[in-house]
Amino acid sequence: MRPRRATRPRPAGAGSGDAVGQVLELEVGPVAHGGHCVARHEGRVVFVRHALPGELVRARVTEGGATKGFWRADAVEVLRAAPGRRPAPCPVARPGGCGGCDFQHATPATQRDLKAAVVAEQLQRLAGLTLDVVVEPVDPGTVVGTAQEGLRWRRRTQFAVDAEGRPGLRRHRSHAVVPLRDCPISSEAVLGTGVLEQTWGGVETVEVAAGTDGPPLLVVHPAAGAHPRLPRAEDVSLAVRTPGGLHRVAGRTWVAETVRVRETDHAFRVSGAGFWQVHPQAAPTLAGAVLDALDPRPGDRCLDLYAGSGLFTAVLAEAVGLTGTVVAVEGEARAVKDARRSLHGRDQVRLVVGDVARVLGTPDGPAGQETGELVVLDPPRSGAGREVVGAIAARAPRVVAYVACDPAALARDVAWFAELGYRLDGLRAFDLFPNTHHVECVARLVPLG
């Protein structure tokens, strides 16, 4: 065995980071999935944030070097602006600032065009489908086309806390915290808790959840080994989350949500700032789109996969009536407990706790024999995956409604459905995360022929 050579210190700027800090003049190309646009420098791809397609910019490299296949950069000067550019409403939505919003420098209509282009590109590249995608605006009480469009919509926000106890949000691709006095996309209900006006000693993050009814809930995550300094709780609920669970300090450990779909109100309780859609119109919009896609009839048998707190379960149970069934599968026991409370008394509903792939793959399990004439699935950002897609197709449903928050995962799974005899029969996309690159889709899949 040859002896190892002594390692010499690298000169400053050498190696994989030797391009960081360089300022490049770039012609900006198309938008890419992830909140940036594609440019090229001497043949190398550069992903540029804070730019728009068709612009000429000077961009500072934030990640890159001679051995890297692509670089990342921030547009620091716009030499030729695109028609859709505007001043960002938030002063920290800029290079080196907060990483929460990707598209504040674009008008709301331009943002939707960018998201539509991403969804169409992913479907074409990963599923071989050519679609004319339209992203629909969904605005919470402000008028589309005004200066307030796309602001004050977020009813659930997690703020990080820096070493001095100041709340804020993290920089893009960094753990560094940008302290905030305001967050223009967070709702008045979130900011009205005073979360950004406090100093949070011994705290790592603070989650704020504002429901449709009752007081907002603040959930504090203490820093490791610290004893958090908590504010006085006035007109809010306050809880502390530790490895041992959620501990009530004041008020209640859940928020109430009321969702109106097709003239019917559905009430839910969501524990400990658990998962719920952050846009106030997201739940009714998506539930309505799922009903439109599935067109359930009295007596139908339905599967609701990745059911969460039971939003789609509730509206499907209403549609299929007492002669139908809805089997809801969810891996998080806390969410199923919430769903059980919210759906109490609906005899046509059966709730199953467990990993979706495992539950569907167990023939003698609680959902193993359930055919499912209709299936809705709302998987995490990573998508359903081949195993779950295969288990769904094996049940031969007449319609599948796939709710997706990631266009790439959706396109990949749509391609796998196609291999198993299902075609994409419709797609709706909604701008439920204005000023960010995120977009929500509802795809309708039906058997070939």
pLDDT at site 200 = 95
Q: How confident is the model at residue 368 (pLDDT cuts 50, 70, 90)?
A: low
Average pLDDT over every residue of 228-251 = 89
Report whether pLDDT(1) > 50. no
216, 207 contact by CB (below 8 A): no
Q: At what angle do helices 108-127 and 407-419 cross, to 10 degrees?
A: 30
Neighbours of 162 (CB within 10 A): 14
Q: Which two tokens stand for residue 446?
A: 């039906």
21-36 confidence digits (pLDDT tens): 999 999 999 999 999 9
> 37, 101, 405, 441: which one is catalytic?
405
* 226-240, 244-258, 278-292, 346-360: segment of lowest average pLDDT: 226-240
28, 31, 35, 38: CA torsion to nearest 10 = -40
pLDDT at site 367 = 62
Q: What is the 3-state secondary structure (H, E, C) of 68-126?
A: CCEEEEEEEEEEECCCCECCCCCCCCCCCCECCCCCCCECHHHHHHHHHHHHHHHHHHH
- Side-chain-side CA neighbours of residue 307 (13 Å): 36
- The values of phi and psi at residue 292, to 5°, are -60, -40
Average pLDDT over every residue of 422-441 = 98
d(Cα 387, Cα 404) in Å, to the nearest integer? 17
Neighbours of 296 (CB within 10 A): 25
- The values of phi and psi at residue 146, to 5°, are -95, 170
d(Cα 310, Cα 155) in Å, to the nearest integer? 19
Q: What one-character-per-residue DSSP string does 229-294 give? A: -PPP-SSSEEEEEETTEEEEEES-SEEEEEEEETTEEEEEEEETT-S--SSTTHHHHHHHHHHHHH
Report whether pLDDT(11) > 70. no
d(Cα 276, Cα 86) in Å, to the nearest integer? 31
Q: How confident is the model at residue 442 (pLDDT cuts 50, 70, 90)?
A: very high
75, 43 contact by CB (below 8 A): no
135-146 confidence digits (pLDDT tens): 999 965 555 556
Average pLDDT over every residue of 217-241 = 90
Which residues fall in the annotated binding site?
A: 277, 306, 330, 378
Report whether pLDDT(295) > 50. yes
Task: Give the DSSP H or E segment for 317.
Answer: helix 311-320
More confident residue, 245 or 368: 245
- Strands of the 399-404 sheet, one edge to the other: 135-137, 422-431, 440-447, 399-404, 374-377, 301-305, 325-330, 349-353
Residue 405 annotated in active site? yes
d(Cα 306, Cα 130) in Å, to the nearest integer? 28
d(Cα 443, Cα 413) in Å, to the nearest integer? 11
> Computed from CA positions of residues 188, 190, 191, 194, in that sequence, does the dihedral angle turn out positive or negative?
positive
159-212 confidence digits (pLDDT tens): 999 999 999 999 999 999 999 999 999 999 999 999 999 999 999 999 999 999
pLDDT at site 5 = 39
Residue with tokens 């007449």: 398
d(Cα 313, Cα 329) in Å, to the nearest integer? 10
Average pLDDT over every residue of 76-100 = 96
Q: Which two tokens stand for residue 32?
A: 């890419």
Q: How confident is the model at residue 275 (pLDDT cuts 50, 70, 90)?
A: confident
Q: Which two tokens stand for residue 28?
A: 């900006």
pLDDT at site 13 = 37
Q: What is the mean pLDDT of the chain?
A: 92
Beta bridge partners, 103, equal none
Nearest to 238 by CA among 209, 267, 263: 209
Strands 440-447 and 399-404: what pairing? antiparallel
Write the CA distances from 144 to 112, 116, 151, 163, 380, integer angstroms. 12, 18, 11, 40, 29
Which residues fall in the annotated binding site for S-adenosyl-L-methionine?
A: 277, 306, 330, 378
Average pLDDT over every residue of 51-66 = 97
pLDDT at site 14 = 36
Residue with tokens 């804070």: 50
pLDDT at site 144 = 56
261-273 confidence digits (pLDDT tens): 999 999 999 998 6
Average pLDDT over every residue of 383-399 = 96
Beta bridge partners, 72, equal 47, 63
Beta bridge partners, 402, equal 377, 443
pLDDT at site 6 = 38
Q: How confident is the model at residue 90 (pLDDT cuts 50, 70, 90)?
A: very high
Q: Which two tokens stand for residue 89?
A: 């409403």
